[in-house]
Structure 1
Amino acid sequence: MKIQFKDVIAIIPARGGSKGLPRKNLRLLAGKPLIVHTIEQARQSSWVTETVVSTDDDEIAAVSEAAGAAVVRRPADISGDRASSESALIHAIHSLLQQGRPLPDLAVFLQCTSPVRRPGDIDAAVTTLTQKGVDSLLSVSPNHRFLWTEEGGEARSINYDFRNRPRRQDMAPQYVENGSIYVFRPRALLDSGNRLSGKVALYPMDEEAAVDIDSMLDMKLAELILHERAVASR
């Protein structure tokens, strides 16, 4: 049975600084500022009751509000390169509580640098959490690569035995955290300081969802994927 939540907040952290790709959250992707894709996806969710952008940047705030998101102004001490996403999430929730609002039933953390979501992904992720009765959830993409590390100057295979190389299709399913969607109970975040706690579930997405915008090459790849999807949907 589907559990009903009255208050599900989507939080999108988006600071103004970016060294890899300056002003990337405002760069145009498929004709829209990058952050607008995630705002629109959140607002199209039947679960999400409010979409909040956490930012330290005036232009990002203006673009976000024009796209229909509420804005929480993030202080400088948690807006630098070393600031964790958790610090922005906790600050956003505390800001809402300071307004006299009750703690939301669920929070959906969306990274605007991971815009390649399909329609319904956010709803399906929240539904997966409710149906499995877990405390938190992360989206993942399938991983079919053979992984290695180096220890003490010696190479070592991680997820397979190179002396008995398996066929990829015979390997147990493995996933990579794609950074696109996280769902959790806000109280658990405040108590643990972590977006993931308690019983954790996976929400599998396709490999394309693992595109994370950090360079112009990533932008071009995301543009190509979104264009092909738009053509296929016509």
Structure 2
Amino acid sequence: MKSALITGANKGIGFETARLLLRHGYHVYLGSRDLNAGLRAVDTLRAEGLTAVEAIQMDVSDSASVKAARIEVGQQTEVLDVLINNAGISGGMPQNALGASIEAFRQVFETNVFGVVRVTQAFIDLLQASPQPRIVNVSSSQGSLTLHTDPNYRYYHHKGAVYHPSKAALNMYTIDLAYELRDTAFKVNAVDPGFVATDFNNHRGTGTVEEAGARIAKYAMLDNDGPTGRFISEEYNPQTGEIPW
């Protein structure tokens, strides 16, 4: 049975992605900053007959928490097939380039960028033991430099001086990670789930968690011919999925 670790998976897109991977026969480690919230999510999934799941307490912004999670997962398996870096925060809106505090930048980058680095480095040895390791970094079209300099882009006027740079940085980390692993079996991609109605945006999104979860799960289950080092947004480009950096 293949296994997957999903950060921030007790609700929303992460939870739906967990549900889909469970339905495809994966054993899922459901990462949650609040262990009780993670346990409630697990109870919900098991009530649906999806039993190969367990909650792992993990705050991606806390190195000690990530290390403890690595130890806990490592006591149960020597191989991890999929890592989905889903945990993220928006930092609240509006975010003005001249008014946002340094502390706001630190807080968002701590989760959205440093958290991804922290988790990836902690679990890379388990992933390297898999014959088909996959890493999905959950990004956003809002991290596209190209689109945000195009006045015709549908979200051109929706700027976020803290959140958007964090996703642009995550995209660059994805490029570097994919390059470093280019001669291995790894597939590493940044995937935009779309503008989805969740707690993250006070349910202002126009898409569903089912659509978003399917987009992420698709790239978590890529075959050997699948892409790597790509920025994918099927909401932006339903034909090829490609989105400009």
* Bin for the TM-score computed over the shorter chain: 0.3 to 0.5
Q: Give the TM-score of the pair, scaled to structure 1.
A: 0.40
As a proportion of its length, which structure holds more strand?
1
Larger radius of gyration: 1
Q: Give the TM-score of the pair, scaled to structure 2.
A: 0.38
As a proportion of its length, which structure holds more helix?
2
Higher relative contact order (CA 8 A, sep 6+): 1
